[in-house]
Chains A and B, each alone.
Chain A
Amino acid sequence: MRFMKHAPVAGLAAAIVIFQLATTLLGREFYLTQLTMAAYYCLVILGLTVLMGYAGQISMGHAAFFAMGGYTTAVLTKLDLSAAAGGLPRLVVDLGLSVTSVNAFGVEVRHLSPWVSLVVAVLLTTTVAFLIGIPILRLKGHYLAMATLGFGIIVYRIVLGTSLFGEADGISDIPAFTLAGGLAVSGDPELRVQNFYIAAVLLLAGLVLLLNLIDSRSGRALRAIHGSEEAANAMGVDTAGFKLMVFVLSAVFACVAGVFLTHFNGGVGPSEADVMKSVTYVAIVAVGGMANLWGALAMGIVLNYLSLRGYFGSYDELVFGGILIVIMLFFPEGLLSARNLKNLKGAAVRLVRGKGGEGADGRP
């Protein structure tokens, strides 16, 4: 039982290592760059899968939480503390919360440690998700979709219209995020392999945490809320509390992904907060099978990778819009849903046994 549960995760870890070795051997390490980015986006998608697929609460505004992470760390780590004479900046330096790095002009600057900005970003996102989640999660259906969409647009507009956030240009030249022992989240091509592993480890950790969650008391409560909020509540599940919890949790996943990807890219722009980004996340969760972390992971990697490498060209948004329609019309439970997989398996078995049609499924 335990082995069965961990085998797929171990398999995934092995696949990651094999893939990296293959790209290095074949001299194709540049593939890793987009894969690293895809892994960070996948972190957002995994969080959203739990919120949307398992707990049944749609969010059309998750790009906003990603942007909150990205912009918070961008703004905070770009503040120049070199000449910190007094007040808060001095205190930050004295407490050892600052680091130095060399900027694009070869000048050494002292700035806030990304560890601190990561903590600030998570706290900020938690607070915002909590405050916005209380009224938003009372809504259902169209209203929930519109409210989360509205929240996303407001964040997008703020990012786009505020000079602190660089308006349409965004923020660039963001310093690397030095983790420990020479490991650093940065776009430096020399660090491509280690960055691939940093992203992979983060993604695996997120996956394991969420797999644990859905197969537990809390996870069952969430799935029950999706199935019948009324029945779940009658069984003693604090439905409002659980919905809020998972909303905040998925927002934090998005925020952390935003912080890491921003340091990896060395910049962040308003397109990260765009509604289309949120819609893309929703589309991938839907293709992945809605309530299916593995499906979301697979689709998240594949689609993000193809999109980032420009395979869809100027048809990128068309592809994701088309996916939404096709999935909802023909596979409303998601492409990789348990039922489709089961049907596929059944079809294969029938094919092998050479048997024909199937009777009614026995429901009254």
Chain B
Amino acid sequence: MAVLEVRGISRAFGGLKAVDDVSFEVASGEIKAVIGPNGAGKTTLFNLIAGALAPDSGEAYAGGLPIHGLEPYRIARHGIARTFQNIKLFPRMTVLESVMVGAHLSGSSGVFATMLRLPASRREEKALRERSMQVLEFTGIAHLAHEDAVSLAFGRQRVVEIARALAAGPALLLLDEPAAGLNIHETNEISEMIMKIRGGGTTVLVIEHDMSLVMNISDSIVVLSSGKKIAEGGPRDIQRNEEVVRVYLGEEDDA
């Protein structure tokens, strides 16, 4: 069964159709890319899937269960975690604490249990910490665990965002331009990390502008333009697709 299925989803802002009747599926274990020029509606599509925006029409299913119109935190419980294009880290929190927020769903003790430090909540706290440290090691930033997250270098902040999302143990990870603003070296690291994440059993849906990265790692690609899906297929097909080439001509350096 598809990890994610999007059916005819649409969302307009005033008169502008930001996402217009888009459908596709993400198969379990694949890396799928969403590409398209700036303003094509890619981020809006992610917001619709993750529940940050409600769709005007259309449906989305996670593992066969409907998720459209749910609040983001409920969608997270369906195993979908995300990163943000414009980084949204928590100020005044360390890297480890931020990642522990990512692992929020693997705990259950509420306000009163934690105020009283009940044994169960203490055990849970320890488990959360361990789990989060594992994620930090997996993403190679364990040495930064006690640093203030928002004062890290830009590239590191991106990794913290990914780690935070991974800590939720998602079935599907949504990455919104994870390599934007990074240098070649850092971009390669991200590329490897995405492969590694998939290797760990997590399906990845990634928005990315860096074409070499997209072509290298993705199993399939969805192309958006002006809110509409104009093509879908493997990297080769997409590279040869005339309409895609036309849309991208002259748009190459848009970042």
A270 touches B (CB below 8 Å) = no
B84 touches A (CB below 8 Å) = yes
Identify which of B1-9, B117-125, B203-211 touches chain A: B117-125
B residues less than 8 Å from A226 (CB atoms): 90, 92
B11 touches A (CB below 8 Å) = no
With contact pairs A221-B104, A224-B101, A291-B92 given, residues A233 and B73 touching in the complex (Cβ less than 8 Å) = yes
Q: Is A232 in contact with B101, judged by CB distance below 8 angstroms?
A: yes
Q: Is A213 in contact with B76, judged by CB distance below 8 angstroms?
A: no
A94 touches B (CB below 8 Å) = no
> Interface range on chain A: under 10, 10 to 19, 20 to 34, or 35 or more?
35 or more
From residue 124 to 178 of chain B, which have CB atoms closer than 8 A to chain A? 124-125, 128, 151, 153-154, 164-165, 168
B residues less than 8 Å from A362 (CB atoms): 151, 153
A residues less than 8 Å from B81 (CB atoms): 234-235
A219 touches B (CB below 8 Å) = yes
A278 touches B (CB below 8 Å) = no
The residue that A230 contacts in the complex, of B52, B107, B168, with Cβ under 8 A, is: B52
Most chain B C-beta atoms within 10 Å of own C-beta, residue among A231, A234, A364 = A234
Q: Is B164 in contact with A209, judged by CB distance below 8 angstroms?
A: no
B105 touches A (CB below 8 Å) = yes
Interface of A is mostly: helix
B residues less than 8 Å from A219 (CB atoms): 114
Q: Is B101 in contact with A220, judged by CB distance below 8 angstroms?
A: yes
B residues less than 8 Å from A363 (CB atoms): 151
B41 touches A (CB below 8 Å) = no
A residues less than 8 Å from B93 (CB atoms): 220, 223-224, 227
Q: Is B92 in contact with A231, judged by CB distance below 8 angstroms?
A: no
Q: Is B115 in contact with A209, judged by CB distance below 8 angstroms?
A: yes
The residue that A213 contacts in the complex, of B52, B102, B111, B154, with Cβ under 8 A, is: B111
Q: Is B164 in contact with A216, judged by CB distance below 8 angstroms?
A: no
Chain A residue at minimal CB-CB distance from B110:
A218
Shortest distance between the CB of B111 and any CB in chain A (Å): 5
B residues less than 8 Å from A246 (CB atoms): 111
Interface residues of B, CB < 8 Å — how many? 41
B77 touches A (CB below 8 Å) = yes
A residues less than 8 Å from B100 (CB atoms): 217, 220
Q: Is A212 in contact with B90, judged by CB distance below 8 angstroms?
A: no
Q: Is A233 in contact with B101, judged by CB distance below 8 angstroms?
A: no
A228 touches B (CB below 8 Å) = yes
B196 touches A (CB below 8 Å) = no
B16 touches A (CB below 8 Å) = no
Q: Is B101 in contact with A249, judged by CB distance below 8 angstroms?
A: no
With contact pairs A213-B111, A217-B114, A363-B151 given, residues A227 and B76 touching in the complex (Cβ less than 8 Å) = no
Chain B residue at minimal CB-CB distance from A245:
B111
Q: Is A218 in contact with B114, judged by CB distance below 8 angstroms?
A: yes
Bound CA–CA A249/B168 (angstroms): 27
A237 touches B (CB below 8 Å) = yes
A238 touches B (CB below 8 Å) = yes
With contact pairs A234-B50, A238-B73 given, residues A361 and B89 touching in the complex (Cβ less than 8 Å) = no
Q: Is A217 in contact with B125, judged by CB distance below 8 angstroms?
A: yes
B residues less than 8 Å from A116 (CB atoms): none
Shortest distance between the CB of A171 and any CB in chain B (Å): 32
B36 touches A (CB below 8 Å) = no
Bound CA–CA A219/B105 (angstroms): 14
Chain B residue at minimal CB-CB distance from A249:
B111
Q: Is A228 in contact with B92, judged by CB distance below 8 angstroms?
A: no
With contact pairs A227-B92, A231-B90 given, residues A212 and B116 touching in the complex (Cβ less than 8 Å) = yes
The residue that A236 contacts in the complex, of B73, B124, B128, B151, with Cβ under 8 A, is: B73
A239 touches B (CB below 8 Å) = yes
A338 touches B (CB below 8 Å) = yes
B14 touches A (CB below 8 Å) = no
Bound CA–CA A349/B100 (angstroms): 33
A210 touches B (CB below 8 Å) = yes
A residues less than 8 Å from B82 (CB atoms): 234
From residue 337 to 362 of chain A, which have CB atoms closer than 8 A to chain B? 338, 361-362
The residue that B121 contacts in the complex, of A216, A237, A364, with Cβ under 8 A, is: A216
Q: Is A231 in contact with B125, judged by CB distance below 8 angstroms?
A: no
Bound CA–CA A129/B114 (angstroms): 21
The residue that B77 contacts in the complex, of A213, A232, A236, A239, with Cβ under 8 A, is: A236
With contact pairs A216-B125, A231-B90 given, residues A364 and B153 touching in the complex (Cβ less than 8 Å) = yes
Question: Chain A 188-232 against B: per-residue CB contact (8 Å), 1 yes, 0 no?
Answer: 000000000000000000000110110011111101101110111
Shortest distance between the CB of A318 and any CB in chain B (Å): 31
B residues less than 8 Å from A249 (CB atoms): 111
B191 touches A (CB below 8 Å) = no
Bound CA–CA A236/B169 (angstroms): 11
Shortest distance between the CB of B94 and any CB in chain A (Å): 10
Since A232-B90, A234-B84 are in contact, a sample of 12 more A-B pairs with Cβ atoms closer than 8 Å, ordered by chain A residue number, is A213-B114, A216-B121, A216-B125, A217-B100, A217-B104, A217-B109, A236-B76, A236-B168, A237-B104, A245-B110, A246-B111, A249-B111
Top 6 closest A-B pairs, CB basis?
A227-B90, A216-B114, A236-B76, A231-B88, A236-B105, A233-B72
Contact sample, A vs B, 13 pairs, CB 8 Å cutoff: A212-B116, A213-B114, A217-B107, A217-B121, A217-B125, A220-B97, A228-B89, A230-B88, A231-B84, A232-B101, A234-B72, A338-B92, A362-B151
